[in-house]
């Protein structure tokens, strides 16, 4: 009588099969790579990718700094305009007060 080994989820070993096809993207998918590109033998591909990545990061950082400068300049200009308007209003108030005082003095001198 042959001893039959019981198959459990821990002890079972399935037959070998190529499981890559289960995870391979479809040929019409943007992630699909043909075999000749998948096994590219270009030694400089990694370095080229790193340089492109570094250049993109530097460009993004420069754009971020430029946008911060633009925003800061916009708010500084806006603040300066508000200060100028405030000074003009103050001068107009003082001028109006001076005109009222001058008119009062002229009227009081007549009587």
pLDDT tens, position by position, 33-71: 887 777 777 888 889 999 999 999 999 999 999 999 999
Is the per-residue pLDDT at 85 higher than 80?
yes
Q: Can you tell me whether residue 66 is helix, strand or coil? A: helix
pTM of this structure: 0.48
- pLDDT for 30 equals 83
Distance CA 101, CA 93 (A): 12
What is the 3-state secondary structure of 10-31?
CCCCCCCCCCHHHHCCCCCCCC
Position 25 confidence tier, pLDDT thresholds 50, 70, 90: confident
Give how far the C-alpha of residue 12 lies from the chain's centroid of Cα atoms, to the nearest Å: 50
Cα dihedral sign, 28-30-34-35? negative
């Amino acid at each position: 009588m042959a001893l039959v080994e019981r198959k459990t989820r821990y002890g079972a070993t399935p037959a070998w099969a190529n499981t890559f096809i289960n995870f391979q993207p479809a040929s019409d998918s943007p992630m699909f790579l043909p075999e000749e590109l998948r096994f590219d033998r270009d030694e400089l591909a990694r370095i080229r990718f790193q340089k492109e990545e570094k250049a993109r990061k530097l460009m993004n950082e420069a754009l971020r700094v430029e946008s911060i400068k633009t925003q800061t300049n916009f708010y500084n200009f806006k603040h300066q305009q508000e200060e100028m308007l405030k000074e003009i209003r103050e001068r107009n108030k003082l001028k109006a007060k001076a005109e009222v005082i001058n008119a009062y003095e002229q009227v009081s001198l007549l009587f």
